[in-house]
Amino acid sequence: MMSISFKELMTVSFILFAVIDILGCVPIIVQLNRQSSGIQSGKTTIAAGLIMFAFLYLGEYILGFIGLELGSFAIAGSIILFLLAMEMVLGISIFKHGTTGSTSIIPVAFPMIAGVGTITTLLSLKATYSDLSMIVAIFVNLAIVFMVLKFVPFIEKVFGKSGLDVMRKVFGIILLAMAVQLFKQHFFA
């Protein structure tokens, strides 16, 4: 029988939460809601979940097919996490985010929620943490994503723009430290 470590679950959940940065996406989601017929929280959450689980289970096979080790991908992932954290902390754009197609799927489900950072993080974390922790952490984050998408106008009123900016920077600093730790674990192993 599989058991789950609460500490491990919290770590994986928090890393995914910081990478997905759904609260930091609220201003963008508000703007997209105004420009389109609205974002469907259920459809978006399901699409993001399918993408995450597909890469969690098929990502290793894809890497193996092209001849990459999971440890090497974990190091590359830690660099991506580092750059994502720098975006969050410094308020700059390093990665380009597309805005074409269905608003619920593109750009919200992919690449905003289940984008390059999330996919890379999942594959990087899989090298260190148990599958059970990964699965539960994905579901925890999908539940948070659903709730945030459902109540985005309320969240915007409660935190305001400056509150959301502060939260994004705090999560960015924590993510930066986690990226360095992940790099150290796999580079110096």
Instruction: DSSP letter for 167, please.
Output: H
Question: What is d(CA 6, CA 18) in angstroms, rounded to the nearest whole number?
Answer: 18
pLDDT of 11 reads 94
Question: What is d(CA 164, CA 57) in angstroms, rounded to the nearest whole number?
Answer: 33
pLDDT digit string, tens, across residues 140-150:
999 999 999 99
Residue with tokens 């996490």: 81
pLDDT of 47 reads 95
Reported as half-sphere exposure (CB side, CA atoms, 13 A), residue 133 has a value of 21
Question: What is d(CA 129, CA 86) in angstroms, rounded to the nearest whole number?
Answer: 24
pLDDT of 132 reads 94
End-to-end CA distance of the chain: 29
Residue with tokens 């509150």: 163
Question: What is d(CA 140, CA 133) in angstroms, rounded to the nearest whole number?
Answer: 10
pLDDT of 100 reads 47
Compute the CA torsion angle 179, 149, 135, 123 (nearest 10 deg): -40
- The stretches in the chain having pLDDT less than 70 are 1-2, 35, 95-103, 189
Encoded amino acid at 126, one letter: K
Contact predicate 48/139, CB 8 Å = no
Residue with tokens 């190091």: 75
User: How far is residue 92 from each of residues 3, 20, 80, 114, 158, measured CA to CA in Å?
Assistant: 41, 16, 15, 20, 25
Which residues lie below 8 Å from residue 80, measured CB to CB, with a gap of 6+?
116, 117, 120, 121
- For the beta carbon of residue 184, count every other beta carbon within 10 angstroms: 12
Its pTM stands at 0.75
